[in-house]
Amino acid sequence: MKLSLLPAAAVLAFCTAPAFAALPVGAAAPEFATQASLAGKAMPFDLKAALKKGPVVLYFYPAAFTSGCTIEAHDFAEATDDFKKLGATVIGMSADPIDVLNKFSTTECRNKFAVGSASAQVIADYDVKLASTARSNRTSYVIAPDGKVIFSYSAMDPAGHVTGTMDAVKQWKASHKG
């Protein structure tokens, strides 16, 4: 009798894969206000105020100055002008303290968009806690001005976050012309 290892391998892969949870599309985005940094200068960031201007691209990343987070910051920096043309605000969030974010905002975010300090409560509210740490996983959201999540994507690989959020903002913009 020949036993297939495929079911066992599938279970093993599922059990060892990182578990990502995120707010689903259609969920109300939790409101928050935090200290952020833009171009090396600390500033307040309030989600509710930002949504009055248009959609918000809110992306969580584990830690400033790590390889994947640096790649993702560069990608968002390159796309920020295009997001702005569509009326969207970009903000990155991590559990890093503001002094670290001041440096990260100038070097890796290239003075293009704000990065904010995510409290444990914000990380919990957005359901992006990286297992057994105080850090967040890599999750990107697009939040419409009505406060609803219109795009949610979790993957530790930074590839796909900018293109996914850009596509969501473009679709939102196309359906809200007038």
Considering the domain 26-175 in this protein, what is its CATH number?
3.40.30.10
Q: Terminus-to-terminus CA distance in the chain, angstroms?
A: 67
Per the annotation, the verdict on 109 as an active-site residue is no
Structure tokens that stand for 24 in this block: 């689903």
Taken in order 94, 164, 31, 48, the sign of the CA dihedral is positive
Is the CB of residue 18 less than 8 Å from the CB of residue 137? Answer: yes
Cα 73 to chain center, whole Å? 10
pTM: 0.88
Residue 178: predicted pLDDT: 60
In the block, residue with structure tokens 């928050």: 32
Domain ranges for the chain, please list them.
Answer: 26-175
Structure tokens that stand for 72 in this block: 């993702």
Cα 63 to chain center, whole Å? 12
| 6-15, 23-32, 33-42, range with the lowest pLDDT | 6-15
Residue 21: predicted pLDDT: 61
| 30-34, 59-63, 129-133, 154-158, range with the lowest pLDDT | 129-133
Of the residues 51, 69, 77, 123, only one is catalytic, namely 69
pLDDT (tens digit, 9 = 90+) per residue, 15-24? 333 445 689 9
Give phi and psi for 78, each to the nearest 5. -65, -30
